[in-house]
Amino acid sequence: MTAWNAGRIPDQHGRTAIVTGANSGIGYVTARELARAGAHVVLACRSAVRGSAAVERLREEVPGAGPEFAALDLGDLASVRAFGDAWGGRPLDLLVNNAGVMALPYGRTADGFETQFGVNHLGHFALTGLLLPSLLETPAPRVVTVSSALHALADIDIGDLNSEKRYRKWTAYGRSKTANLLFVHELSRRAAAAGLPLVAAAAHPGYAATSLQTRGALMEGRKGTERAFQLANRLVAQPPTAGALPTLYAATAPGVRSDDFYGPRVLMWRGAPARSWRAPWTVGDVAGERLWVASEQLTGVDYGSALKV
């Protein structure tokens, strides 16, 4: 049988999807292929210039598609709330929590959270909670959160979620990606306990060539490291079109179950999507609940009685 590819995405006509960070890389490919399959896609991006340009590009590549741009800065909870308010309860079939940052120098979000934890986890936690009523208005809602194989670098430290004791950028990145998987695990557990039809799954792109790899080195002015990542992206990494496949599979394929985790088949690096290995600390009920409670407190977003356990 031919390996799963974007041409096998089921018909998405009548479905509405939001993809965060969809102006470039695997986020853009995800939005484009969903639109090609018939979905109405909203590209939720921090930069209005880049987001609007991506919408125009998508319209050129998929004639007849009607994508939208919507402003969303996951590093600013006021922006996340404004996005939720602007959505206004419209039915939503699919939310793809794709945007992220990787291995940045220490910084803080607008709300004072360590940047990687704040953007990669807390911003998406808040966004999902605010959009949950819209998701539950549809018959088969899905939430797909993009994690990383590098979640294996570190478990979360529930007593130091903002890495204030000691900051190591790759450890902080691993923690934020572990948080993504714990969020999916706990969301799945709570939805199942409440008897809701929501499917919450996760995906990772393996090693895909995107701007993520070079951004941290660029911010630190480390030209040699930046050039090394650029070379690796050209010689070793798979293209964004391949890196987006696990996300697209988790978002659309029949048989995807809540708390599934998909990535490239070959060594979690490249190839067609398949169920992926994950670290044992990403499937702990106690850890998931503790992170959930902390995330509600930090963001001020309460998922409501429907998901109380």
Residues in Cβ contact with 105 at an 8 Å cutoff, skipping those fewer than 6 apart: 169, 216, 219, 220
CB 177 within 8 A of CB 158: no
Residues 209, 233: contact at Cβ < 8 Å? Answer: yes
* DSSP classification of residue 117: I
CA distance 180 to 103: 16
Cα separation, 125 vs 121, whole angstroms: 6
143-166 as b/e, with b when 16 or more CB fall inside 10 Å? bbbbbbbbbbbbbbeeeebbbeee
List the 261-266 sheet strands across, edge first: 68-71, 40-45, 16-20, 94-97, 142-146, 199-203, 261-266, 270-275
Active site residues: 173
**One-character DSSP codes across 223-245:** HHHHHHHHHHHHHTSBPHHHHTH
